[in-house]
Structure 1
């Protein structure tokens, strides 16, 4: 992922962006000689302070063979994306894509033991299903303990984070706000989130205060 100086995402920015409910990404492992990468769409749980990501996958998933061969993996999260027509953007009138993306380069550790798998599942349940605190996984216990052989846990140690917020920060602030209005007026797909990001990034550059509406306030 190419990151220019003007669209680099700082750590407080990407942390807030992810914390606003963005906990589903694309996990990639090397597929070995003559094969493409193994890609797995998955929910995950990030502990940014500890530099750790945990998740689980079904035991038959082809990801496991790939990660045994090479434990270096990438997890990517992309959202708030839209196409920007060239005639909206001023000279030279070239179209572009707006998007936010955070990519984690990680070292993967497979978790096989029942207690370790249950610990990961319970952390995920507490995050994704907090309304049922009584629902917990106990090895050997009902109703989920007997299902543990059907999954493996995955613990990712984060080595590098690369974040990009591509919203025309190289353009004048006034044009960036105008683009936000044009995208909002179009009103399709993820345009509302993209418009909010354009306003937020413009505000960070010295424009009027703005809030992106998605848990990522200006500043």
Structure 2
């Protein structure tokens, strides 16, 4: 992913943006063909530099990881197309935010390790049912552990890009935000929120504009 100096996201920025996002695409190298991509829910512990998730045991990504443990998890959202008529350059562009984690993956095979990952995920995704627990050997979930594998990803590098026309004059960026509001396409509100936030960082109009 190409990141220009004006699109670079800070650690504080990507951490705040990811606070409400836990679904992305995990990519692994495939020695027998094209890269393997898996859409997946994940749980990030940014302080520990760790991501955990689980997959069905037959998932081909696991075979790829056992051959080459280097993987990338990408999260992309708040995207919108900016047509040529919106921009002084008359060149259309895409607005989006994307965070990519380059990681080393470890396949978790043991029942206790898999249960620990699942319980962490349940606490995050299903906090309203704290009584639901995965215990190896105990029904209803323990007997099903053989059908999955855990993945523990150690984060080696984080790349964050927030592409919202930070290189254009402030008034042009503000005008794009208003055009997003006027158009009102399904993804435009999220893109506009990020554009206004980046604009405010540059000293432009405040977030409530």
TM > 0.5 between the two?
A: yes
Contact 1:200 1:211 in 2 (8 A): no
Measured in 1, the distance between the counterparts of 2:181 and 2:15 equals 25
Listed as ranges, the gaps of 5+ residues in structure 2 are none
Listed as ranges, the gaps of 5+ residues in structure 1 are 213-219
The match for 2:18 is 18
What value does the CA root-mean-square deviation take over the aligned residues? 1.1
TM-score (norm 2): 0.98
Counterpart selection for 1:141 from 138, 142, 165: 138
Q: How many residues align?
A: 209
Measured in 2, the distance between the counterparts of 1:163 and 1:195 equals 18
SS in 1 for 2:114: helix
Counterpart selection for 2:167 from 170, 184, 187: 170
Residue 28 in structure 1 maps to residue 27 in structure 2: yes
Measured in 1, the distance between the counterparts of 2:183 and 2:158 equals 33
The match for 1:125 is 122
Counterpart selection for 2:73 from 52, 75, 96: 75
Measured in 2, the distance between the counterparts of 1:50 and 1:69 equals 25
Cα deviations by residue, 1:130-156 (Å, 9 ceiling, x for unpaired): 000000100011110110000000000
Measured in 2, the distance between the counterparts of 1:105 and 1:41 equals 16
Cα deviations by residue, 1:64-120 (Å, 9 ceiling, x for unpaired): 110011000000000000110011011x21000000000000000000000000000
